[in-house]
Amino acid sequence: DTEVTQTPKHLVMGMTNKKSLKCEQHMGHRAMYWYKQKAKKPPELMFVYSYEKLSINESVPSRFSPECPNSSLLNLHLHALQPEDSALYLCASSQVPASTNEKLFFGSGTQLSVL
């Protein structure tokens, strides 16, 4: 069982909706990540939070807005998405940011469909 919990597991939303994806870990990890994965493609990095501060934004459109309220929680706020944003959104955490042994632990993901 994964120790990174993501909710919801599935989400269907219209292009005018506002929704949020949530991620939680209680392993004391200080780096948290959002990845996007399309079918038969590898995960693509979106955002990295290091010690609760945004350290990497991979030129993600502003309709995706990350938030890290504390060291255990990571949110991804969604607004005015497009159908091509439909994908599996994976949250991950790692123990120590910017270390050479930065092993990722993934949540089971949120399967998002934008209609």
Partner 1 sequence: RKEVEQDPGPFNVPEGATVAFNCTYSNSASQSFFWYRQDCRKEPKLLMSVYSSGNEDGRFTAQLNRASQYISLLIRDSKLSDSATYLCVDHYYSSASKIIFGSGTRLSIRP
Binding site for partner 1 (CB under 8 A): 2, 31, 33, 41-45, 48, 50, 55-56, 90, 97-109
> Between 15 and 98, whose beta carbon lies closer to partner 1?
98
Q: How far is the CB of 112 from partner 1 (least distance, A)?
A: 14
The first and second tokens of residue 80, run together, are 């005015």
Nearer to partner 1, 22 or 79 (CB): 22
**Distance (Å, whole) CA 94 – CA 91:** 11
Report the nearest approach of partner 1 to the CB of residue 91 (Å). Answer: 9
Task: Give the 3-state secondary structure of residue 61.
Answer: coil
Q: Which is nearer to partner 1, 71 or 108 (CB)?
A: 108
Distance CA 54, CA 37 (A): 20
Q: Considering the complex, state which of residue 2 and residue 82 has its C-beta at the smaller distance from partner 1.
A: 2
Q: List Cα–Cα distances, 44 to 6, 27, 58, 99, in angstroms.
A: 17, 23, 9, 20
| Least distance from partner 1 to the Cβ atom of residue 57, Å | 10
Q: What are the backbone angles phi and psi of residue 84, rounded to the nearest 5°?
A: -70, -10
- Nearest approach in angstroms of CB 13 to partner 1 is 20
